[in-house]
Structure 1
Amino acid sequence: MSNEYTSAEPSRADIDATRGLMVLEFGDAYCSICAAARPAIETAMRTRPEVKHLKIADGRGRPLGRSFGIKLWPTLVFLQDGREVTRLVRPMDDQPIAMALQSLRADVAPA
């Protein structure tokens, strides 16, 4: 799993049209809280390899983060067929992340 956040964010329309299961992780490479949460996120994401995981570099004026109302990093947004199922803000333990991943149905066709 990459430690890098991409600044090439998809549009909200692209996210909304995405089929399958996805987690958007909003944060920044220089965020110490994001770095502290990384092991828990990686541990939980390994349990669901079929879930697409996008790490989005967020910040002032970034349209995708603003469209999701992101205020704190890291924020994980769990999506199923482009619709938000749940979200976690600043998760530091893999258990809440694993539970949120369980809320995503495995019977959805991949994107």
Structure 2
Amino acid sequence: MNKYLKPGLAMMIFASLSLAAKAQEVDVITFEKGVQQPAVQLFDVRTAKEFNAGHLAGALQADYTDKKEFAHRVQYLDKQKPVYIYCLSGGRSAAAAKWMRENGFSKVVEMEGGILAWKQAGKALEGGAKPEEQLSVAGFRQAIQKGLVLVDVGAPWCPPCRKMEPVLQEFLQAHQQVRLVKVDGGNDQQVMQSIRAHTLPTFVFYEDGKETGRKEGVISLQELEGMMK
């Protein structure tokens, strides 16, 4: 390093170079191999509509253009584990990856060219088929009519929902008298509106059809159990 640089300026340049060194953009083939590694978190930063039209298998989703949604969901990713990120063509994922690196994520790998490049390489996507039939409000009401019921409003591509899954399973094993009813947060919009569920995940307890407790977001096993009282 030039000995005539002032110490403060030298440190700033070093920090900038270190940050730049962490930036990594790879082609489709390299990206595909990378996501097969253990502990990799695959992250789609397009809109929910784009995601539902076709996405990489196993991807989590948060709309980077929706700052509130992105900030809420990204906090449930593990900063110490690799994140492989993509969007439609690379612009949004580059911006999201830059933000993530600046906020403590140790390794963020971008897919060069995004979904467009993935399709051009002849790679398969999940989704994109005809949407599943929505759970009807009447069907939902019938499902919660008798006994203790826990309603889980979530989706497999939602980071906080996935984080809650082991807690939910532990709860159900300990309380086998409780039935679980799942509401698909990406599909069952009419039911979500009828029970005023606006956040993923949302947990609602019912006893004989009457709501007795409600919590939103990532909660503890103790909080779930407290909703029963």
TM bucket, shorter chain: 0.7 to 0.9
5+ residue gaps, structure 1, are: 1-5, 104-111
Structure 2: segments with no counterpart, 5+ residues: 1-131
Determine the structure 1 residue equivalent to 2:164.
37
1:79 to 197, 206, 209: 206
Deviation at 1:91, TM superposition (A): 3.1
Q: Cα distance 1:86–1:12, how it changes in 2: closer, same or farther (>3 A)?
A: farther
Superposition CA RMSD, Å: 2.3
TM-score normalised by L of structure 2:
0.38
Aligned to 1:100: 227
* Residue type at the aligned position of 2:203: L
Residue-pair matches, total: 97
Q: Tell me the residue number matched to 1:69.
A: 196
User: Which residue identity is paired with 1:41?
Assistant: L
Higher relative contact order (CA 8 A, sep 6+): 1
Aligned to 1:15: 141
Is the Cα–Cα contact under 8 Å of residues 167 and 220 in structure 2 kept in the other structure? yes
- 1:7–1:56 CA contact under 8 A, matched in 2: no
More helix by share: 2
Structure 1 stretches of at least 4 aligned residues deviating more than 6 Å after TM superposition: none
Q: Give 1:108's aligned residue.
A: none
Secondary structure, in 3 states, of the residue corresponding to 1:46? Answer: helix
TM-score by length of 1: 0.75
Structure with the higher strand share, 1 or 2 = 1
